[in-house]
Amino acid sequence: MEKFIFVAFLDVMLASLSMFQPVICSSNFIDQVALLHFKSAINIDLTNTIKGGNWTIEANFCEWIGVICSNRTQRVTTLNLLYMGLHGRLSPYLGNLSFLASLDLSNNSFYGRIPIEIGQLRRLKELILEINQFEGNIPPNLIQCQNLEVISLTVNRLMGGIPREFGTFPKLQLLYLDLNPLRGQIPSFLGNISTLQFISLCSANLTGSIPLTLFNSMKHEDLMPLELGSIVLSILELGLECSKDLPEERMAMKTIMVKLNKIKLSLP
Residues near ligand NAG, by CB under 6 A: 30, 33, 54, 56, 59, 63, 65, 71, 83, 85, 92-93, 95-96, 107, 117, 131, 167, 181, 183-184, 188-189, 192, 205, 207
Q: Which is nearer to ligand NAG, 102 or 192 (CB)?
A: 192
- Whole-number minimum distance, CB 246 to ligand NAG, in Å? 32
**Cα 144–Cα 150–Cα 151 angle in degrees, nearest 5:** 70
CB 88 within 8 A of CB 110: yes
- Whole-number minimum distance, CB 184 to ligand NAG, in Å? 6
Q: Which is nearer to ligand NAG, 95 or 239 (CB)?
A: 95
Q: Which is nearer to ligand NAG, 13 or 44 (CB)?
A: 44
- Stated as kind and residue range, the H or E segment containing 79 is strand 76-80
Q: Which is nearer to ligand NAG, 4 or 20 (CB)?
A: 4
Which sign, positive or negative, has the C-alpha torsion 128, 130, 132, 138? positive
The CA distance from 92 to 262, in Å, is 46
- Whole-number minimum distance, CB 133 to ligand NAG, in Å? 12
The CA distance from 182 to 261, in Å, is 22
Q: Helix 253-265 to helix 232-242 angle, to the nearest 10 degrees?
A: 160
Q: Encode burial over 60-74: b for 16+ CB neighbours within 10 A, e otherwise.
A: ebbebebbbbeeeeb
Closest CA to 206 of 232, 225, 188, 233: 188
The CA distance from 39 to 37, in Å, is 5
Q: Which is nearer to ligand NAG, 95 or 119 (CB)?
A: 95
- Whole-number minimum distance, CB 249 to ligand NAG, in Å? 31
Q: Which is nearer to ligand NAG, 22 or 167 (CB)?
A: 167
Q: Which is nearer to ligand NAG, 48 or 255 (CB)?
A: 48
Sheet with 157-159, strands from edge to edge, namely: 42-45, 86-89, 109-113, 133-137, 157-159
CB 267 within 8 A of CB 245: no
